[in-house]
Structure 1
């Protein structure tokens, strides 16, 4: 039970980490990697912005390694929370919102529609400055109210 709570707590915490990273790193000193994501269309299968998936996977992998090789097995479940959030992020961001994979094209779910709307508002501004809606799984309430 404790390990499940750790995993869930980390998963929830990752939304805050993602918000801060998106606002202050991706739209800050890491803009050189994130900028192509704000340009219309995708010139290739991959974009520089995809390197953030690798960067965010490293702590998760290290926690799995250290947790399995020490008495601190709780580290595995911290890594699992990060991994599960990364999977949810991929499914929401790349599959549902940007349709990089055509798996969920015709969703009619109010929650998913609100997430799409919040992300569209984020991409309305093509530049580094003046963006809004930096989260992924939780967007401002006003977007949810539109679909309830």
Structure 2
């Protein structure tokens, strides 16, 4: 059962990410997310990186509370959120934005679709008129772009 809680939470986080990205990051906390779109910060860190703390702190608290309560469901929810956060970091920061230069020349259709969807999201530098607010779920049209490009 605990495994299902972790996996279920991981998948629920995709929907939460879409909602948070669209309505909070592109909403009332735009002042933290803006430099991620317009690249106005010249340093290695962006104000957008504060979202790591904003999302990590409740997860740590849930994990702590779950361990104090003999590893109840809150702990396993926190594990699912933490795993999603790690996936987000590796795919978004390392793969897409190349904070570490790896997987630059991948031919994996899924990874290329994620990269393309994220590029579409970043073509809008303002907080309105955005698209592709999710992270791991990629609309079919971005897969089609890849496969249409490779037809003989």
Cα displacement (A) at 1:145: 2.0
Q: Report the TM-score, using the length of structure 1 for normalisation.
A: 0.94
SS of equivalent residue, structure 2 residue 7: helix
The question of 1:145 aligning with 2:109 is answered no
Cross-structure match for 1:115:
114
Deviations 1:20-48 (A, max 9, x none): 00000010000000000001475111100
Q: Within 5 Å, which residues of 2 pair with 1:68-79? A: 68-71=67-70, 73-79=72-78
CA distance in 2, matches of 1:21, 1:139: 17
Cross-structure match for 1:87:
86
CA distance in 2, matches of 1:41, 1:35: 8
CA distance in 2, matches of 1:41, 1:111: 30
Deviations 1:55-88 (A, max 9, x none): 1111210111001101452211100000000000
CA distance in 1, matches of 2:96, 2:48: 15
Cα 1:110–1:39 change in 2 (3 A) is: same
CA distance in 2, matches of 1:117, 1:41: 22
SS of equivalent residue, structure 1 residue 145: helix
**Which ranges of structure 1 fall in alignment gaps of 5 or more residues?**
none
CA distance in 2, matches of 1:40, 1:52: 16
SS of equivalent residue, structure 2 residue 104: coil
CA distance in 2, matches of 1:42, 1:114: 27
User: Alignment RMSD, CA only?
Assistant: 1.3
CA distance in 2, matches of 1:96, 1:83: 18
SS of equivalent residue, structure 1 residue 146: helix
Equivalent residue pairs, number? 147
Cross-structure match for 1:23:
22
Cross-structure match for 1:101:
100
**Which ranges of structure 2 fall in alignment gaps of 5 or more residues?**
148-152
Q: Report the TM-score, using the length of structure 2 for normalisation.
A: 0.92
The question of 1:46 aligning with 2:45 is answered yes
